[in-house]
Structures are given as structure tokens and as C-alpha cells.
Amino acid sequence: MLDIKFIRESPDLVRRGAAAKNISIELDTLLTLDEQRRSAQTQLQALVTEQNQISRDIGPLMGQLKKAADPAVKASLEARIESMRRRPTELKAQAAALEEQIKTLEPQIDAILLTIPQPPDEDVPAGKSAEDNVELRRWGQVPPPDVTPRSHVELGQRLKLFDLERGVKLAGSRSYFLLGAGALLHQAVLRLAMDMMVHEKGFTPVTVPVLVKEPAMRGTGFFPAGREQAYRVGEINESGDDERFLTGTGEVGLTAMHMDEILDYSQLPLKLVTQSTCFRREAGTYGKDTTGLYRIHQFDKVEQVIIGRADRNESINWHQQILANSEALLQRLNLPYRVMQCCSGDLGPKNASMIDIETWMPSRQAYGETHSASRLYDYQARRCNLRYRDETGKVHFCHTLNNTVAASPRILIPILELYQNPDGSVRVPEALVSYMNGLTVIA
């Protein structure tokens, strides 16, 4: 959520930012409602000031009345005091009306504020869609195009690594079973990612809830935009206590863990990592990537989150560091990839900047997205009411960042396809052999 003061002072910047992200906003309505609320608050404060002044003035007047000998003066004082005694009743009625007006305005303002996107940073290229993203760099050797490898689907069926047909039979489209060495390979990648982040990068491991209440989804920016991608569990009732949502990323639990809290500056930055099961409806992707493990409803992901101080330069530095963490994992697995700066039209509402990593997938003869590193400044923290107190005692909203470390089984696509042998067997990446109990070839 953007600071309403920032919106008020920089409406053109906010308007341009929304247009760059292809997001329609009700900015004029928001500013009008905000002005009405500020006017009502000013009037309410004036009433409070008048009430306090009456309380201060009536005592001395009572003293003058006791001392007054002149009937005319006495009558004048009595009339004035009586008028002042009636005034609080009038003020109370006016204040109640203003408070009701503010109470009516605030939900309308909050509802629009939740839809206002964060403007893209200056380093974000202009563009309409992912087609306009800019390649920053590449790593690794892509196999020559004349080599026609087996797809991960064919390899998985030949080696009995997964069962798509029974997955669909049991749970519907985009579902699967991982079997035998396929299940072990899936776990090996996740374990490698967690070990690297905890033991080498110094992140704190956290196990997070994957079934959360709406405030956690709204606070982290997945509602209202993106609500169609979430699975809802339970019934809607008056209290909302039975309604929960399955999270699509561990980012929700890690970021919202300290919502409505004030941290001490000495605690920051929080470097958090989790492995969690993720659920996405993949709404809007009908007929796209329906075969295989690329676009599925349920997967496991190791996610890294930074909760830091309100320092833009520090956030930019952390963005590069969490990106480097993910690159280090891919390099350890020797998987060729490219790093893409997402253009304005490919950014979500909450991101100031987003950098994707796409890993080479031979069966697609293309790079496929496997990681997404986001810089959000205080956008999520304002929605989560996540703050910290600095050295002087002043309270600030935190800055947050997040990035995938490994998402499986999607990451199994390049592993299987790039490590396959001509006879249809698959070599186990050296970095994963110890996690596979010494297995070096899946045959």
C-alpha cells in the first residue's frame, strides 16, 4: 500500500506508474474522498478545541458571577454561562455527525488504496508484457540446437519418475504423482536449497502456515489483485473465522509473521527462508502448458525473504544479494540460465522492481521462468502494519524483498532434460548425489 501522503503529493507519478503497469485506478475518486475526510477531521478537531476552550473559560466566569453585585452584569454573566453550558450538547451532535462521516469515508478510501500499485523504479524498462523484458546476462552452455533430447515427460514415463495420468485421475488437471527416484530428486533439490541458505547464507529457517486468514493475503499484496489464483477453504460466515486460503508461496507466511508488530532496529535485517507446499489455481491459463510439470496446481518451494530497514539503497543491495543466492544454486546444479529485468507491464501491483531467472529447458527449446526476485520497499509493510523502531525511537515501516531459491518439480524439467544420456538414463547432478544416497545415474 502506498502512503496516502505520497499519493496526495505526487498524483502524477502515481498515475504514470499505474499506466506503466497497465492497471486502471480510481485516483481522482481517492483524492476527493481523502479531501473530504481531511476536511471532516479538521472540523472535528476545531470542535474539540472549542470544547476544551469552554471548559477553560467557564470556571473564571463562575468566579466573576459570584463576585458580581450589579444586577445587569450578573444577568449578562448568567446568560453567557447558560449559553456555554448548552454549547457542548450542540458540539457533541456535530462531532457525532463528523465522526460518522469519517467512519463512512475510511472503508471507501482503504478499498481504493489497496488497488493502487507501486510505481516502477527508474531502472525498470518500459513495456507492455513479458515480451518486452530485458535480458541482463546469461550463464552456462546451452546444448546445440541439432540435439533432439527426450522431454521430461518421456523421461519421467520411461524411468517411472512420475505418473501424470493417475495424478489427473485423482486430483484433476495439472496434477501428478512423483515416484521413486523422481520423488527423491525432488526432495534432494529442496534439501540442497535449504542447506545452502541456512548453513552458507545465514538465513533463519522457518516452517510457515500454508492455510491463512484473509488479512495475511491482503497484507502481503496477494489480495485483492490475484484473488482469483487462490484456493479458498471453509465457508464464509459473519465472523470470517472459518474462511482460510491456501498460499501460493512461502512469502505470505514469512512476511506476515510479524504483521501488526514493532520490531527493534537491532533485529534487522531478518533473513528468513522456508520450504512450503504452494497452491495456485492457474486461472487464466486454460490450454497453456497442460502437459508435464511446468504449470501445476501444487508444488514445493524454498523461498527467501528479507525484512529490512527503510533504506532504498539497502533494499537495492539486498535485491542483488537474494538474486545472487538463486544464481548460486543454479550454478551448483550447472543449469544454464538467463537473468531478465522485468518491464513495467510485467510487474505486479506490489513490485517496484522484479528480476526473473529463466532456466534453459531443451524440450521447450527456450528458457522457462524458475525464479522471481521482487523489491517492494514499504508497500507490503504498510499493508501488514509491519514496523520497526530506530536508534532514536522513531517508528518506520520496514522494507521487504523476496525471491525463489528453488521451486520443484518445475526445476526437475531442466535437470532431467539436460542431464539425460543417449540411452535414456539420467545422470544425477554432482551437487545432489549425497542427497540421493550416492546414486549417480537414474536408469
pLDDT tens digits, 172-189:
999 999 999 999 999 999
Q: Are 396 and 264 in contact (CB under 8 A)?
A: no
301-321 b/e (C-beta count within 10 Å ≥ 16 → b) = bbbbbbbbebeeeebbebbee
Q: What is the pLDDT of residues 421-438, one digit of tens each?
A: 999 999 999 999 999 999
Confidence bin at 91 (pLDDT 50/70/90): confident
Secondary structure tally for the chain: helices H, strands E? 13, 18
Specify whether the CB–CB gap between 189 and 411 falls below 8 A. yes
50 is catalytic: no
Question: Which of 280, 375, 382, 383 is labelled catalytic?
Answer: 280
Residues 222-258: pLDDT tens digits? 999 999 999 999 876 666 567 899 999 999 999 999 9
Tell the burial category of 155 from Cβ atoms under 10 Å away from its Cβ (0-12, 13-18, 19+): buried
- Report the pLDDT value the prediction gives residue 145, as an integer from 0 to 100: 72
Q: What angle do CA 243, 247, 248 make, to 5 degrees?
A: 145
Grid coordinates in use for 429? 547432478
Structure confidence at residue 401 (pLDDT): 98
- What share of the chain has pLDDT > 90, as a percent? 82
Torsion of CA 317, 319, 322, 325, to 10 degrees: -70
> What confidence score (pLDDT) does residue 149 get?
83
> What integer best gives the mean pLDDT of the chain?
93
Q: Which residue's entry shows cell 453567557? A: 80
Is beta strand 262-264 parallel, antiparallel or unpaired with respect to 270-279? unpaired
Cα 203 to Cα 156, 173, 270, distances in angstroms: 33, 36, 8
- Identify the band that residue 51 occupies on the pLDDT scale cut at 50, 70 and 90: confident
85 is catalytic: no
**Stated pTM of the model:** 0.90
Q: At 55, phi and psi to the nearest 5?
A: -60, -35
The amino acid sitting at 124 is V
> Is 281 known to be catalytic?
no
- Tell me the C-alpha distance between 3 and 141, whole Å: 46
247 Ramachandran zone, left/alpha/beta (phi>0; psi -120 to 50):
beta
Question: Catalytic annotation on 295?
Answer: yes
Q: Which of 8, 309, 369, 434 is catalytic?
A: 369
CA distance 267 to 251: 19
Q: Is 31 exposed, middle or buried (0-12, 13-18, 19+ CB in 10 A)?
A: middle
Write out pLDDT tens, residues 127-146. 999 999 999 999 999 988 76
Of residues 344, 353, 363, 372, which has the active-site annotation?
A: 372
Bridge-partner residues for 279, per DSSP? Answer: 298
Write out pLDDT tens, residues 387-404: 999 999 999 999 999 999
Q: Got the DSSP string for 47-64?
A: HHHHHHHHHHHHHHHHHH
Among this protein's residues, is 372 annotated catalytic? Answer: yes
